[in-house]
Structure 1
Amino acid sequence: MAGTPGTLPQDLAREAAVTAALAALDLDAKARLLSGQDMWSLPALPEIGLRSLVMSDGPIGVRGVRWSADDPSVALPSPTALAATWDPALARRAGVLLAQEARRKGVHVLLAPTVNLHRSPLGGRHFEAYSEDPRLTGLIGAGYVAGVQSGGVGTTVKHFVANDAETDRFTVDNRVGARALRELYLAPFELIVENARPWGIMTAYNAVNGTTMTEHRHLVNEVLRGEWGFDGCNVSDWMAARSTRGAVEGGLDIAMPGPDTVYGAPLARAVRAGEVEESAVDDAVRNVLRLAARVGLLDGAEPAVPEPPAAVDGAALAREIARRSFVLARNERAALPLRPGTVALLGAAARDARVLGGGSATVFPARVVSPLDGLTAALPEGALRYAVGADPATELAVADQGFTLRASCRNAAGEVIGTASAPNGQIQWMGADLPEGVTHDTLHTVELTGTFTPRDSGPHRFGVKGTGAFTLAVDGTVRFDGVQRPADDFDPFEAFFGAPVERAEVELTAGAPVEVSLTHVVELPEGIPMKVVAFALAHQEPERDPDELIAEAVEAARAADTAVVVVATTDRVESEGFDRADLALPGRQDDLVRAVAAANPNTVVVVNSGSPVELPWRDEVAAVLLSWFPGQEGGAALADVLTGAHEPGGRLPTTWGPLSAAPVTRVTPENGELAYTEGVFIGYRAWERQGRTPSYPFGHGLGYTDWTYESVDVDGTTARVRVRNTGDRQGREVVQVYLAPAAPDGDRPHRWLAGFAAVEAAPGDHAEAVVTLPRRAFEIWDTTESRWSFVKGSYEIQVGRSITDRRITATINV
């Protein structure tokens, strides 16, 4: 029967334990188990030997139940970076490390991976997803899930489904045609269910074709569980569940966070009132107990992984993934690897690296290696000169560099009842995660106090992130004392993802410490069904004259043999909670690149962004290296690649081009609906259909050696591709196989990715890539019959280095 767990002896024994536990529970206990007891966990039920199940955000690390920099985590490169490796085996290794991190933090289920598609480049959360292509997304996601679960930790593949933008994400109704839904947006989920058997899935905030996803009976019960045989647990996105009856009948197992949800006591009442069948509750409880049993939380049930895998060196793996993800988009005159001589390193992002995206994907690494750190360590003494050049940060950010802060909790009488560290000026206490001795009933105010030592003289800007009453003092003077309120369209996560508000400008001297404090009268935010204390002290360094900064960079570039410019986005450009307004780099970074390139023809630009940005100067520079959000070891990995110690291994998982040419850009709903009018034509499919030329096509990426494609032989649905390394160093090549119908029609793309494989070879040697062409590559969704239809005919197998750089072909008839 579809949805039935595996039939291995250990699976059967585990299922028997689940059945026995379920039979021992009364209605109230069952209803309680389906509702979060706090922000991150489910309640324990000692009467059946069930311990509390703990979840945590991912996907680049495991933050745990504390949103704080004093609880550090390994930070891997962004999901776009992982997809750029085109290496499911590497994704699996990343998953094994994350399972190790989860166990270290007492976490049983990781809220990852995100396998929504890059439908429009304006999607604000694209750095957290993999690709515009469903097959690449599904294969990388399957590797990730298999790795995490091999470590005995569950995953929740998200966000099911069509959660491809952030604007009005809580309420938008995405209108998606049946073909696009099946061939694009559902496809990665289906592939992961088939190949990795995930233990969990997360349903999204949005509606699809009129039904909110937490109540979507057809897509959850009939497709996910019925057709695909998913036997895992279905958890809501946080606060997505809206209806008790609708959710339980729509196949939702867990409503998060708690304690106040549509489940728990409301669910028990609905059963007793005859509004909900208790059998539906039992089905959900069984799925939760099965998840608990798999991760080792149910007495009498052997966990799915009795012994964890061997330990993984997190820093080493983070560095390897980063360098293998970097995409060398341009390399004129062999500008890279760096030639011997002096290097001018330019850009604020070279000193203050941005290694991850904003929002719930945030973790706090114990260390971050910036490009300046990495190149300083790698180059001979005296070879490197640094200048700021241009700063992308045009807005305040949470206090970090130069701040030493601590939080004091006081009751209504002003007495200190608890203290905590505040390493980056940010307080985010959720549920019971409060300092020792503090309760929500006794907590009245939180005061951040400490010192700030400026690294630059001039006017420093201070501000506040959060809502409620605040008092801000700097250098012994109160600078703000008032109430801060959100915009009318209040997002309940405003305190987490909203922009800081500037409240003071203070003239300070470099190296001279000053006292700072921010006092907040605690006011629990509306719209969140649990108690949360969240706010932050924000700061921005003095803004020097931009022309003066660029002039200093040009002077450094002109005196150097090579200029390396690092450009970047910011948290206010790429983050959860909002979509992008444009694809331009913030600040004067484009001006910086152009000025440096004019001064030094050997200019290399490193692009530190999680998703596409416009590169109007790309033909004016010698080299362009896309580094994504490269994780905590990004600077060390960058030095590895720039110096030639390692080859950049990445290929583009999504098309890069200017917004003016992008075929699909709409992310803002009209009257609550967002119509996916483009159908199956997103990403490279749409660029080709409309005859538009991107800056860099899907699959593109250069290395430090050259390859010749010699032959392709197709036997049935297996393609064997012979390539030769014709360069002068060891290299890795990603062989990409595209399928193109010999008689194209307007309803199908010109071609699509059917498979890929990576090979390595020494100079002069050849290698063979073996790529299996799946049956699904030849199928379309028949909307009349509501089934997959195999399209017979003649197809051209097109093999090459990208969607546009196709080297050899073969023809097959199916």
Structure 2
Amino acid sequence: MGEPESGLLVGKVDVARKVRLLTGATVWRTHDEPDIGLRSIVVSDGPIGVRGQGWDERSTSLALPSPTALAATWDVDLVRRLGVLLAAEARRKGVDVLLAPTLNLHRSPFAGRHFECFSEDPLLTGRIGAAYITGVQSGGVAATAKHYVANDSETERMTLDVDVDDRTLHEVYLAPFEAAVRAGVWVVMSAYNGVNGTTMSESPLLAEPLKGSWGFDGLVVSDWGAIRSTAASANAAQDLAMPGPESPWNDLVAAVGSGEVPESALDLKVERLLRLAARVGALDGSTPEPEPKEVEGAAPHELLREAVAASTVLLRNDGTLPLSPGVKVAVLGPNAATARIQGGGSAGVYPESVVSFVDGLAEVAEVVHAPGVRLADRPAPLTTANARHPHHGEPGVLVRVLDADGAELTAEHRFLGRVLEVPLVDGARTIEVHGRLTADVTGDWTLSVAGFGRLTLDVDGERLVDEDVPLDTDDPAVIHLTPPYRQASAHLAAGTTVDLVARRELREHTGTATVLAADPPRLSDADELARAVGMARVSDVAVVVVGTTDEIESEGFDRTSLALPGRQDELVRAVRAVNERTVVVVNSGGPVELPWRDEVAAVLLTWFPGQEAGHGLADVLFGAREPGGRLPTTWAARGDDVPVSNVVPDRGVLRYDEGLHVGYRAWHRSDARPAYWFGHGLGYTTWAYEQVTATGSGVRVRVRNTGDRAGREVVQVYVTRPDSAVERPARWLGGWAVASAGPGDAVEVDVEVPARAYQHWTADGWATEPGVFTLLVGRSAGDTPLTLGERSPHVAE
């Protein structure tokens, strides 16, 4: 692509305009500069879709499976094709920069944003992340490698300081970002946290290794609000402060004038901004990549459906799966009819449509459904299914912005009672959400309002809530996405319609998020469970969908337990007691405890599977597609067994005392054994590992399909050096390749094991210990039947 000479353009801009360009114009846009042919650059959150500018349920997006699911495919080509799809979505929405992928690691399964990261392994994370980046940028849209670096937990995430040794930093946490740079990523995001005493927007790590030895020539953008200084961050290799227009960098004109910051530092930052603008077509004279017209022969929904099956991990199967046509299936569980397709926080999108697990299975089988148990999640906002505009009666709600006297300033017809952003004008003092709810069940309904400031809730003119909610956090995820609720109860008769009006006061720094919610009365816990068990007893197969809630896996907080919430374990065992063909589907973004895993017929993980959840699950359960997934992170039998569990800083410092030993590496030196190893996953056939031989770049492995149907196997190679003079993990992933074969057939696959797999970081850079490394070959980090003791061609004598 063509890129105009940015250095020449910088000379045409004075200091004040340079400073203006280096801070966002809004939350989602940069400033334009018409004199040099620069338009605004538009950014959007990812990674499972392209939400666009802001939070508006009327602007829907295609919703991909979660990053944990993408990594579970171990399929770089599929992830690349999904990246191409995201590029098309971005271009459709006028977005230039997608704020994804997240390349932080699954250091601990207790991390709240686990679902938004790919894997516990730096190599798998790096290769899947690079494929995502390559796909997105092939359409002329910038990908963003985030959050640089060691942003691996949510507790005190805005201020914590990570204490990590230099070798661990380079070999584990920086490695995926290096892979992103090698893949040509155009943007890197600096994290909120600090590393070894310096906050990342001021960190020397932005200069070296990022812009130094790695040669990153793109733009470093801050996480939103992560820049807290003027001179210190501007003198670092930080390039763009977001969001705007308020920012510490607005004081840079004075800092340059006083000599605290040289103007040459601003010039380098503006040059990088202009280079990004050229790459995405925001600069006159640039020629960005052509807009993707289609995703290489696959319709978007079909590709999303393929991805669900490819990411589904079959943990256990006694032969019950795949199911035969014509069976009667009881689809049970709290997530069955309302599948959780995405995690909470800034990664969220408004999907254009969602196929629930119940609906997907109902297309191919006779289905009955009951939730069995209820989960304590956030209240359910009004929707077009249960609410009507108070004036014209169309589905949805009326959202108004009022002045101090209660006069209307703006009004919008919205589809949800959860309103995160509204247009504000001068004089705005109150946001009002108004809808007419028709009750479909008689009983005591729970009615809720959420926000900060004074909250009120009126039902048919009667005030049921009137409370002042003070701002007690500076976390943007809470302020803008998950403000606190206040609730009341009202007895409603089925068929009656009530007028609901929620209002929240607008105060400085409290955002605009406002929610009006209504939850119907529920059966007793005993009756709910009995209903599900009764369905299971008279069905051929019971599929129990269990999972987490938005209050458990989300940006902004970490988990304190890996146990499934509510009485879901009890539900599984009660159903299994009456139906031996009980299949459990786990709908979570990260690991949870499965205490009944050896008691049921089959266990599958769907992660957060995106909008084609039900279709993808149906394909797997009935054998139209293989469950293609392999675990991207190790699953513990019990949370207490997890060898790396600390995600809570001590006096502001989070110490990575485990060093190199994270994930399966930590488990290999632990006394406890996991429930399922990294890399584990079954298909609908079986495989024998027959032979491994050395090649010039790795190994060649012969495997045989010993089952009665065609299948796919992920052949994994681990490196080990038990007699090393250097401290090392017991084993670490060196490479993998995919084998496909028909029943009874043998196939050979070549697995590249790059030179970096044999190297370790020293004070002088990368080094290779002479001698023999052993390569372990198999289907998971805990199952490696083939061994090759071979002097690597990369290792000196």
TM-score normalised per structure 1:
0.93
1:230 equivalent in structure 2? 216
**Does residue 604 of structure 2 align to residue 619 of structure 1?**
no
SS in 2 for 1:802: coil
SS in 1 for 2:335: helix
Matched letter for residue 580 of structure 1: R
Change (3 A) 1:792 1:52: same
Distance 2:294 2:703 in 1: 35
Distance 1:83 1:492 in 2: 27
Change (3 A) 1:590 1:92: same
Change (3 A) 1:518 1:235: same
1:245 equivalent in structure 2? 231
1:795 equivalent in structure 2? 773
Question: Does the 8 A contact of 1:744 with 1:750 survive in 2?
Answer: no
Give the CA deviation at 1:503.
1.8
Alignment of 1:531-680 (within 5 A): 532-657=511-636, 658-680=638-660
**Does residue 316 of structure 2 align to residue 330 of structure 1?**
yes
SS in 1 for 2:416: coil
Question: Does the 8 A contact of 1:118 with 1:129 survive in 2?
Answer: yes
Alignment of 1:483-562 (within 5 A): 483-487=468-472, 489-498=473-482, 500-525=484-509, 532-562=511-541
2:140 equivalent in structure 1? 152
1:98 paired residue among 80, 86, 95: 86
Distance 1:742 1:508 in 2: 69
2:128 equivalent in structure 1? 140
What value does the CA root-mean-square deviation take over the aligned residues? 1.7
Distance 2:438 2:110 in 1: 37
Distance 2:441 2:308 in 1: 31
Give the CA deviation at 1:46.
0.4
Give the CA deviation at 1:553.
1.1
Alignment of 1:65-84 (within 5 A): 65-84=53-72
Alignment of 1:41-120 (within 5 A): 41-120=29-108
Matched letter for residue 523 of structure 1: R
1:478 paired residue among 460, 463, 468: 463
Question: Does the 8 A contact of 2:42 with 2:95 survive in 1?
Answer: yes
Cα-to-partner distance string for 1:297-330 (whole Å, 9 max, x where unaligned): 1112322x14535356322221111111000001
Distance 1:645 1:454 in 2: 40
Give the CA deviation at 1:742.
4.8
Cα-to-partner distance string for 1:335-390 (whole Å, 9 max, x where unaligned): 433575211110121011110000000000111100011011121xxx21111101
Distance 2:624 2:272 in 1: 49
Size of the aligned set, in residue pairs, is 780
Distance 1:693 1:453 in 2: 52
Change (3 A) 1:547 1:108: same
Which moved further from structure 2: 137-146 or 723-732? 723-732
Q: Mind listing any 5+ residue stretches in structure 1 that lack a counterpart?
A: 1-9, 527-531
Give the CA deviation at 1:558.
1.1
Cα-to-partner distance string for 1:244-287 (whole Å, 9 max, x where unaligned): 111111111000000011223x1111101111011111011100
Question: Does the 8 A contact of 2:480 with 2:512 survive in 1?
Answer: no
What percentage of residue pairs aligned between the two structures are identical? 50
Give the CA deviation at 1:149.
0.3
Question: Does the 8 A contact of 2:139 with 2:290 survive in 1?
Answer: no
Change (3 A) 1:617 1:746: farther
Matched letter for residue 167 of structure 1: T
2:428 paired residue among 443, 449, 469: 443
Change (3 A) 1:31 1:541: same
2:412 equivalent in structure 1? 420
TM-score normalised per structure 2:
0.95
Change (3 A) 1:776 1:15: farther
Distance 1:701 1:280 in 2: 50
Distance 1:335 1:41 in 2: 49
1:220 equivalent in structure 2? 206
Alignment of 1:679-698 (within 5 A): 679-698=659-678
Give the CA deviation at 1:511.
4.5
Cα-to-partner distance string for 1:592-617 (whole Å, 9 max, x where unaligned): 01111111111000000000011111
SS in 1 for 2:513: strand
1:736 equivalent in structure 2? 716
Distance 1:640 1:348 in 2: 21
Distance 1:369 1:764 in 2: 36
Matched letter for residue 738 of structure 1: Y
**Does residue 255 of structure 2 align to residue 270 of structure 1?**
yes
1:409 equivalent in structure 2? 401
Matched letter for residue 381 of structure 2: V
1:6 equivalent in structure 2? none
SS in 2 for 1:348: coil
1:725 equivalent in structure 2? 705
Give the CA deviation at 1:475.
4.3
Change (3 A) 1:685 1:459: same
Question: Does the 8 A contact of 1:698 with 1:803 survive in 2?
Answer: yes
Matched letter for residue 42 of structure 2: V
Matched letter for residue 190 of structure 1: E
**Does residue 152 of structure 2 align to residue 174 of structure 1?**
no
Q: Mind listing any 5+ residue stretches in structure 2 that lack a counterpart?
A: 388-395
